[in-house]
Structure 1
Amino acid sequence: MSGAVRAGRGVVLPVGEVELTGGLLADWQRRNREATVPHAIAELRKAGNLENLRRLADPSVGAYRGRYPFLDTDLYKTLEGLAYEIGQDDAPAGAREFFDEVVELLEQAQAEDGYLNSYFQDPDQPNQPWSDLGWGHELYNLGHLIQAAVAANRRLGDRRLLTIATRFADLVVRKFGKDGEEVVDGHPEVEMALVELYRETGTADYLTQAQLFVDRRGQGKLKHTIFPAEYFQDNAPFRELPSVTGHAVRMAYLAAGAADVSLETDDPTLLAALERLWDDMVATKLYLTGGLGSRHSDEAIGDRYELPSERAYTETCAAIATMQWAWRMFLATGKASYLDVYETVLYNAYAVGLSADGTAFFYDNPLQRRPDHEQRSGAESGGEPLRRSWFGCPCCPPNIVRWMSELQDHVAAQQGDTLYVGVYADARITTETLAVTVRTNYPWDGEITITVDSAPEDEQAIALRIPGWCTGAEIDGAVVNDGWAVVRRRFIAGDSVRLTLPMAPRAHGSHPYLDATRGALAVARGPLVYCVEQQDVLTPVDDLLLTPAAVAGATAYQRSVVDGVPEALVLELTAGVASAPSPELYPVITDQEAQTAISEVPATFVPYFLWGNRQALAMRVWLRAAN
């Protein structure tokens, strides 16, 4: 969700001005409406989220369901997504009724002073509100409530949630504002929500409160239990953090909120810190897929170059948070490189979190699966070998719902007379002065045509992002470099601009300090990372060898990877087969060991986001490189 930015370099198009009309992203949104939203509503009912609110007025409903104090946010995230779906011709069945039912329960549950949290308001809960800011998640809850409320007000003209959210936010301002208690929440998120509430209402207190929460971090205002200060990004003031650290979702949400504060206050010191942290993350801590977070134990970002494949955590919520941060950095700086990362996350680390049928989810997203591996969520033991229909800590599924509903909000932006098209998809884009239609089969194909539907008499500019992975890009036959390629002229209806982004398959290596993938290669094409599943090769995937030449010579073709799902573009190449390894775990090596192939075998690589939709077998993104 993005509103008009009051300051800074970028201005996001008003809501409703971008419509996805076809292609992969539109297919994903249709799946969200037809499958994921109804599934999420059913799971929320089954899990007892509504009863947790209902029992505040009627304890006979039963005990609080669940073990966490932030389960209300699963309702809020779903409501945010529903605000985008309700009112459309193909709105999910029962969505309006669910939305109204939850809003009415929230109105009834809210305390007189504006406080709202079904866990701490529960009559059987011994802990009092605000008694554990480290783990209580009360401000995190408020953040998601605000975002749902703003979406409902903008999309539906429904102010009921906004009234609830502003009452709660006003309580927070009174209690924790400039003259209140100097505290922060253990889980950042409310910062960007408060800025969005300021944008929606014009009430400056909300922006000030967001700024206070950012500036108070690292000042000893939070009691740390279970994990150290780094986990909470509380080991140093934000501007002095040496690197992205701690819990991955918390870190990226905090950075996104700080970016919003920077946009609205034009704070150069905050922006400089954000740029430094971002650059360090991309250079040393981000997976090839755009995933963030390498540790299961505390769902955390690891040390620099600590990026194991089979134990990659890369939580789906962290992917969404990274995209939120990336989009705001683009708005703050205008740099296309932030959208390069956004796109990588979108098509890989985010998309893989949802099954092809839209009803099962990955919580964590490894880049390798061994045959005996089980998919597990956090501290939960056991579970399905691949995606699950829901979780005991179900933060990711409703987060997917809301973000999928909002994809069109992160396609284009406008600054002055320039329209920036940053994410390519079949779409209609309308500004106050310019209307264009985008036609493309991206990300499967790099041909993009922008047709002008209407334009003023004076000159306008259309800026097209040339991804960093692309070489030989052309606009109307003229070669352009990566970054923004700007076409400026007096447009008339019917004019078109043709962008060609060559998509040759690429072999990626990794930094020599990255021990987990040293001596290995990965395959990518366009913005998509590819992987090989055991179903698509006769030799065990652990025995495959790759060369850059084999990747460059790969054949791309459309094929159905998952039954009942539109065809995807797969890559077929010739892989080497390594000789049988020594049975010893740590054999003695007396000479340089060559990785040479004893034979060859055809191997089909599929988009990483589609893995795990068939039988639970081995999978690899990174394969050994042949000498």
Structure 2
Amino acid sequence: MLEKKLHSLSLNQIQIEDMFWKEYMELVRNHVIPYQWEALNDRIKEAEPSYCIQNFRVAAKLEEGSFQGMVFQDSDVYKWLEAVAYSLMWHPDEKLEQTADETIDLIAAAQQPDGYLDTYYIINGLEKRFTNLMDHHELYCLGHMVEAAVAYYKATGKRKFLDVAIAYADCAAEHLGTEEGKIPGYPGHEVAEMALVALYEVTGEERHLNLAKYFIDQRGQEPLFFNEECKKNDNKCFWDDTYMQKQYYQAGKPVREQEKAEGHAVRAVYLYSGMAEVASATEDAELFKVCEKIWDNIVKKQMYVTGAIGATEHGEAFSFDYDLPNDTVYAETCAAIGLIFFARRMFEITKDSKYTDIMERALFNGVISGMSLDGKNFFYVNPLEVNPEACEKDYFKRHVKPVRQKWFGCACCPPNVARLLSSIGGYAFECSEDAIYMNLFVGGQIEAALNGKKNRFHVETQYPWEGTVKIKVENQEDSSFTYAVRIPGWCQNYELTINGVKPEYYVEKGYAILNHVWKNGDEILLKMDMPVTLVEANPRVREDIGKVAVMRGPVVYCLEEIDNQDQLQEIYLEENPVFTETFEKDLLKGVVTLKTQGKRLSEKNWGEETLYRPYRGRTYEKQELTFIPYYAWTNRGIGEMTVWVRI
């Protein structure tokens, strides 16, 4: 059975209190959400303008003007509203809610009588709508609108935004389909598929699920719709002259015939997330097997050690198996977030920790690296090796930035980070009727109804810097249910006790299953050994031969120039390095640093005019090396950085 075995707790049932994620959530609430609101209104000096709110005002005929920005600019405000909704769930804020309501009023004012709502076409001519589904992102904007509207309805109980989204979804269904008189199209940039299933879960209306299923089933069918659309409307597909062609959009063949991740990475994982949702909701075993096969291809052959995906700047795309360059990498922040979406949905169907392990890896490394520690600067691209001079002067590395940017003309990543971090509690804990699953080790207060009884838990942890997690039951009456604790894939040794005694339990798909009659004051204690680990890549990853990455727990580490001088390519680890682990509370908002004795290839006896010479063997100079968490790099100034180190 493919029905979801688990569902997220409402964010108002989770009060996060731990030092790591609470810091991020408050940063988003107090700084990122307000900062992004200013950006959406073009009030950030020296940042690229957004034009987002301005476009809605023009579309609503509240001011004169033309459409400006990217064709998908509407989606930025939707993702901002989704982040606001999640924030309101765990921290009510009347002023913020009022701003959101006013923004929703503006959006509604721009909506057309038949429900259509895309400012690009409202401003530039409605007669052209649905004529370039391949590239003009109408359905992408619909998807983000639906996700935001569902979240806002759950947060506030207000229907206005939800009704706006339903009207646009119904408008799309009126125009798109295989019935006579309709356009047999589907999204060029996926996200509507998973959004429509979320809408179906709220409304119970089969038409919303059916539209999501149609978008998936129709994708890639012959004759290829995007080819026909190009012919009919004289559109040009840039990707036809590349090896990807329509697989750039994951539309070169039906989804059930696809076996590996291909094309634009964000579109891909958004599609796969929607496929998993539809497979579950419709009990489509064939479609779910495709999801499993593609998942395996991503994590076993196309994923960076940081959980980042999308190796090439050309199309922001997957390239080919084992192609994982570190200095020309793309690794878009949104792609890592999309992988988390995919992982979560696969986990909810299977209860298998192989998905939550990857969710954790991407979260701690590939996602939060995309935002500065003050929440005011952002990465679109997340490299694993940087030489600032190369970023400036090498044309093929021009997309790689050695420092986070204030904003982007294409600003999909910043609000995506905000909405994920605002909802992190829903990823950490999920439940069924009789079980609660701890997916991420996050401290705080959690409430859950299990077997018809209310339960309350208090979690304490210093994760990811320490491997101890304490869960205390705070119930008014005895309660029988299952508490399932993830044993991370990185953890080789652990101890699990209840009230100081080793309990009877079994491990199933990476979770320690604790079936118990729980009493007030019962305490689960998980102690995980967290040694420093050297990670090597499959030898087919050419760029990483003879190198290792350093990890501790879920955190990937890196070398930065500020700690280790420049020319990081000259540095080697010892064969069996011994690390000193130190928590430095005043460094990078509090991190564990790793120090070890390494060596540097000596430049002595190399004249400045000598580029090549007969090989004389190698000589080294000893050097103490300092590693910091990868996610925190370039928060202390511009310099070289590398994750993979020679050994």
Query: Aligned-pair distance for 1:268?
Result: 1.1
Query: Aligned-pair distance for 1:457?
Result: 4.0
Query: Aligned-pair distance for 1:613?
Result: 0.9
Residue aligning to 2:564:
537
2:502 corresponds to 1:475: no
Please give the per-residue CA displacement for 1:239-275, whole angstroms capped at 9, x wherever unaligned: 2112101000000000001111112112111111111
SS at match of 2:33: helix
2:581 corresponds to 1:556: yes
Query: Is the Cα–Cα contact under 8 Å of residues 2 and 279 in structure 2 kept in the other structure?
Result: no
2:603 corresponds to 1:572: no
2:622 corresponds to 1:600: yes
Residue aligning to 2:175:
175
2:76 corresponds to 1:53: no
Cα distance in 1, alignment partners of residues 610 and 474 from structure 2:
65
Residue aligning to 1:82:
84
Cα distance in 2, alignment partners of residues 143 and 237 from structure 1:
21
Query: Is the Cα–Cα contact under 8 Å of residues 15 and 154 in structure 1 kept in the other structure?
Result: no
Letter in 2 for 1:613: N
Aligned partner (choices 535, 541, 548) of residue 521 of structure 1: 548
SS at match of 1:55: helix
Query: Aligned-pair distance for 1:90?
Result: 7.2
Cα distance in 1, alignment partners of residues 343 and 138 from structure 2:
26
Worse overlay, 312-321 or 7-16: 7-16
Cα distance in 2, alignment partners of residues 6 and 129 from structure 1:
37
Cα distance in 2, alignment partners of residues 303 and 450 from structure 1:
43
SS at match of 2:20: helix
Match runs of 1:303-452 below 5 Å? 303-374=320-391, 385-433=402-450, 434-452=455-473
Identity rate of aligned residues, in percent? 31
Query: Is the Cα–Cα contact under 8 Å of residues 581 and 594 in structure 2 kept in the other structure?
Result: yes
Cα distance in 2, alignment partners of residues 599 and 329 from structure 1:
49
Cα distance in 2, alignment partners of residues 136 and 379 from structure 1:
27
Cα distance in 2, alignment partners of residues 375 and 99 from structure 1:
39
Query: Is the Cα–Cα contact under 8 Å of residues 375 and 385 in structure 1 kept in the other structure?
Result: no
Cα distance in 2, alignment partners of residues 284 and 142 from structure 1:
32
Cα distance in 2, alignment partners of residues 19 and 178 from structure 1:
47
Segments of 5+ residues of structure 2 without an aligned counterpart are 43-49, 231-236, 240-244
Query: Is the Cα–Cα contact under 8 Å of residues 11 and 86 in structure 2 kept in the other structure?
Result: no
Letter in 2 for 1:275: E
Going from structure 1 to structure 2, the CA distance change for 1:97 and 1:514 (only over 3 Å counts) comes to same
Residue aligning to 1:226:
238
Query: Aligned-pair distance for 1:20?
Result: 1.2
Cα distance in 2, alignment partners of residues 245 and 584 from structure 1:
45
Query: Is the Cα–Cα contact under 8 Å of residues 51 and 61 in structure 1 kept in the other structure?
Result: no
Cα distance in 2, alignment partners of residues 147 and 455 from structure 1:
37
Query: Aligned-pair distance for 1:134?
Result: 0.5
Residue aligning to 1:34:
30
Going from structure 1 to structure 2, the CA distance change for 1:365 and 1:239 (only over 3 Å counts) comes to same
Segments of 5+ residues of structure 1 without an aligned counterpart are none
Aligned partner (choices 616, 624, 627) of residue 646 of structure 2: 624
Query: Is the Cα–Cα contact under 8 Å of residues 12 and 90 in structure 2 kept in the other structure?
Result: no
Count of matched residue pairs = 610
Letter in 2 for 1:567: G
Residue aligning to 1:190:
192
Please give the per-residue CA displacement for 1:273-330, whole angstroms capped at 9, x wherever unaligned: 1111101111100000000001112100110000000111110010110000000010
Cα distance in 2, alignment partners of residues 585 and 237 from structure 1:
56
Cα distance in 2, alignment partners of residues 497 and 455 from structure 1:
17
Please give the per-residue CA displacement for 1:8-38, whole angstroms capped at 9, x wherever unaligned: 3223324422221222111100011111111
Cα distance in 2, alignment partners of residues 382 and 446 from structure 1:
37
Cα distance in 2, alignment partners of residues 58 and 442 from structure 1:
51
The RMSD of aligned alpha carbons is 2.6
Going from structure 1 to structure 2, the CA distance change for 1:584 and 1:523 (only over 3 Å counts) comes to farther
Cα distance in 1, alignment partners of residues 613 and 635 from structure 2:
40
Query: Aligned-pair distance for 1:125?
Result: 4.9
2:16 corresponds to 1:20: yes
Query: Is the Cα–Cα contact under 8 Å of residues 69 and 120 in structure 1 kept in the other structure?
Result: no
Cα distance in 2, alignment partners of residues 586 and 341 from structure 1:
43
2:263 corresponds to 1:246: yes
Cα distance in 1, alignment partners of residues 251 and 13 from structure 2:
39
SS at match of 1:121: helix
TM-score, with length taken from structure 2: 0.89
2:35 corresponds to 1:10: no
Please give the per-residue CA displacement for 1:457-481, whole angstroms capped at 9, x wherever unaligned: 4532111000111111110275987
Residue aligning to 1:121:
122
Query: Is the Cα–Cα contact under 8 Å of residues 259 and 290 in structure 2 kept in the other structure?
Result: no
Going from structure 1 to structure 2, the CA distance change for 1:561 and 1:276 (only over 3 Å counts) comes to farther
Worse overlay, 52-61 or 488-497: 52-61
Query: Aligned-pair distance for 1:100?
Result: 2.2
Residue aligning to 1:63:
66
Query: Aligned-pair distance for 1:373?
Result: 3.5
Cα distance in 2, alignment partners of residues 175 and 207 from structure 1:
16
Cα distance in 1, alignment partners of residues 63 and 433 from structure 2:
58
Query: Is the Cα–Cα contact under 8 Å of residues 190 and 271 in structure 2 kept in the other structure?
Result: yes
Query: Is the Cα–Cα contact under 8 Å of residues 466 and 483 in structure 1 kept in the other structure?
Result: yes
Cα distance in 2, alignment partners of residues 539 and 367 from structure 1:
16
SS at match of 2:444: strand
